[in-house]
């Protein structure tokens, strides 16, 4: 979930450095990362991608405030781009060497909890006498909480207004037909109408950029909790994406494109539209200050009149099950979920608070955040991958079949049948 986010390597810890740091976690006898400093102090390692997506230095200041309030706890931030963080945490989860506190994507929770890599937060909340009624949501496995969403991000349609005007498109597309027409008009010279990242190494493009078309029209990829990929609704999405590809309106290199590549192409004016996280607004404006763009609800089927599903992702937080300092780690969780801190974090991140009593300061937010908040209130948050077992593998298997369709190596029906079979072997 998740920015270069032009490319998010800028100003972030390199992947190689993160490998070394996460690997170093194994030096603790318990497998955890926290260390004692010999004077009663505890140092917690906190791995996440948030610092790479926030304005420079903002997250460090918040953590510095925490350590000032808790002088016996030190925090070492391990900040890297989303893709790098994911790869290292997957490795750390398998070897039980996760840092003490970890940023989590809801798609990882089921697998990490099954592996025993992350701690039961329900127990930690109970031990700390923490009132969880203030939490907007919790991600659970077998009725216990393993992730708390700290900030929630919606994924609206981003539109380059200058390119739209230049192409003679008078309004932001609201239906699939309007989107296809706009994409065709935008696709001239080196510019394409839409960017679709389908790299199977990080297959979240299936969640954010493909299934979003389904959810926007009130559809579902599940029925009674089981895969339902051969439904007319899912088939129409795949056929629609194929029609856009056949029309030549999707940016080249889509089969190996990553999310950060999509954001860069939009930021540099190479594509006119993309589906993307609000978390990227800061970075886009920083790197392309003259880019005039807006956000809008995702286009729906032409005949659809209900509430539009809006993809979302969360900056979730969890605690390593192998750390010897779970109580101290949970203090950091409590701090980030406290009303004022959570409101501040969601404001600077252009997201929505995980503490339902927190209110983002819209007066200081980017105007696009206010627009997105209106979209959020008028729609319905939708992400059916959250909490599914092996959700990354589900995305990948669907991605592989979609690629065969887009390269004319498989029919839509055959691809969906194979994806259905693959998913059914995972979702029991």
141 and 166 in a common domain? no
352 and 242 in a common domain? no
The rounded distance, in Å, linking the Cα atoms of 162 and 168 is 10
Q: How many residues does the chain have?
A: 428
Q: Give Cα separations from 293 to 265, 266, 352 (angstroms).
A: 13, 10, 21
Radius of gyration of the chain (CA): 21
What count of Cα atoms within 13 Å lies in the side-chain half-sphere of residue 59?
A: 21
321 and 206 in a common domain? no
Cβ contact 109:118 at 8 Å: yes
Enter the DSSP assignment of 355: B
Q: Is 5 helix (H, G, I), strand (E, B) or coil?
A: coil
Tens of pLDDT, residue by residue, the chain (428 residues): 443 333 333 333 333 333 333 344 433 433 445 555 545 699 999 999 999 989 889 999 999 999 999 999 999 999 999 989 999 999 999 999 999 999 999 989 999 999 999 999 999 999 999 999 999 888 888 889 999 999 988 899 999 999 999 999 999 999 999 999 999 999 999 999 999 999 999 899 999 999 999 999 999 999 998 999 999 999 999 999 999 999 999 999 999 999 999 999 999 999 999 999 987 887 899 889 999 999 999 999 999 999 999 888 899 999 999 999 999 999 999 999 999 999 999 988 888 889 989 988 877 677 888 888 888 778 888 889 987 889 989 999 999 999 999 999 999 999 999 999 999 999 97
Within a 10 A sphere around the Cβ of 130, how many other Cβ atoms? 17
pLDDT at 137: 85
Q: What is the largest CA-CA distance in the chain?
A: 68
146 and 86 in a common domain? yes
Judge whether 284 lies within some domain: no
| Token output for 182 | 């706009």
Judge whether 62 lies within some domain: yes
163 and 123 in a common domain? no
How many structural domains does the chain have?
A: 2
Judge whether 5 lies within some domain: no
179 and 147 in a common domain? no
228 and 90 in a common domain? no
pLDDT at 226: 94
331 and 222 in a common domain? no
The rounded distance, in Å, linking the Cα atoms of 92 and 96 is 6
Judge whether 132 lies within some domain: yes
pLDDT at 39: 53
The rounded distance, in Å, linking the Cα atoms of 146 and 120 is 5
Judge whether 318 lies within some domain: yes
The rounded distance, in Å, linking the Cα atoms of 181 and 298 is 15
Cβ contact 77:46 at 8 Å: yes
112 and 244 in a common domain? no
pTM over 0.85: no
79 and 125 in a common domain? yes
Judge whether 293 lies within some domain: no
Q: Is 139 helix (H, G, I), strand (E, B) or coil?
A: strand
Enter the DSSP assignment of 297: P
CATH label of the domain that carries residue 335: 3.40.190.10
Judge whether 383 lies within some domain: no
Residue-range definition of the domain harbouring residue 353:
15-153+313-376
Q: Please, what is the Cα angle at 35 between 33 and 41, to 5 degrees? A: 140
| Token output for 164 | 């739209």
The rounded distance, in Å, linking the Cα atoms of 248 and 261 is 18
Judge whether 250 lies within some domain: yes
364 and 232 in a common domain? no
DSSP 328-388: HHHHHHHHHHSHHHHHHHHHHHT-EESBTT----GGGS-HHHHHHHHHHHHSEEE-TTTT-
165 and 20 in a common domain? no
């Amino acid at each position: 979930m998740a920015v270069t986010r032009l490319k998010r390597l800028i100003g972030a810890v390199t992947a190689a450095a993160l490998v070394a740091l996460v690997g170093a976690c194994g030096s603790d006898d318990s497998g955890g990362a926290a260390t004692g400093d010999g004077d009663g102090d505890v140092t917690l390692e906190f791995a996440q991608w948030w610092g790479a997506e926030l304005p420079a230095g903002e997250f460090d200041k918040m953590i510095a405030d925490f350590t000032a309030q808790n002088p016996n706890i030190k925090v070492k931030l391990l900040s890297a781009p989303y893709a790098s963080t994911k790869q290292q945490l997957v490795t750390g989860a398998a070897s039980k060497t996760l840092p003490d506190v970890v940023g989590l994507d809801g798609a990882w929770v089921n697998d990490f909890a099954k592996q025993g890599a992350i701690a039961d937060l329900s127990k930690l909340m109970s031990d700390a006498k923490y009132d969880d009624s203030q939490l907007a949501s919790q991600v659970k496995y077998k009725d216990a909480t393993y992730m708390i969403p700290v900030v929630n991000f919606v994924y609206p349609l981003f539109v380059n207004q200058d390119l739209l005007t230049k192409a003679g498109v008078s309004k932001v597309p609201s239906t699939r037909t309007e989107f296809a027409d706009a994409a065709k008009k935008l696709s001239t010279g080196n510019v394409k109408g839409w960017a679709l990242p389908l790299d199977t190494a990080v297959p979240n493009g299936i969640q954010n950029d493909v299934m979003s078309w389904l959810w926007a029209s009130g559809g579902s990829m599940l029925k009674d909790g089981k895969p339902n990929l051969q439904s007319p609704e899912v088939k129409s999405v795949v056929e629609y994406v194929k029609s856009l590809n056949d029309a030549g309106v999707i940016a080249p290199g889509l089969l190996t494109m990553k999310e950060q590549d999509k954001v860069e192409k939009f930021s540099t004016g190479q594509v006119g539209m993309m589906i993307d996280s609000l978390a990227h607004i800061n970075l886009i404006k920083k790197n392309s200050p003259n880019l005039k763009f807006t956000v809008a609800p995702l286009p729906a089927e032409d005949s659809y009149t209900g509430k539009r599903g809006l993809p979302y992702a969360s900056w979730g937080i969890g605690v390593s099950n192998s750390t010897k300092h779970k109580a101290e780690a949970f203090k950091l969780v409590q701090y980030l979920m406290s009303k004022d801190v959570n409101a501040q974090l969601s404001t600077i991140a252009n997201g929505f608070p995980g503490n339902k009593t927190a209110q983002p300061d819209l007066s200081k937010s980017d105007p696009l955040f206010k627009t997105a908040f209106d979209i959020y209130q008028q729609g319905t948050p939708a992400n059916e991958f959250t909490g599914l077992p092996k959700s990354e593998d589900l995305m990948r298997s669907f991605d592989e079949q979609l690629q065969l369709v887009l390269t004319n190596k498989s029919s839509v029906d055959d691809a969906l049948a194979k994806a259905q079979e693959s998913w059914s072997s995972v979702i029991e």
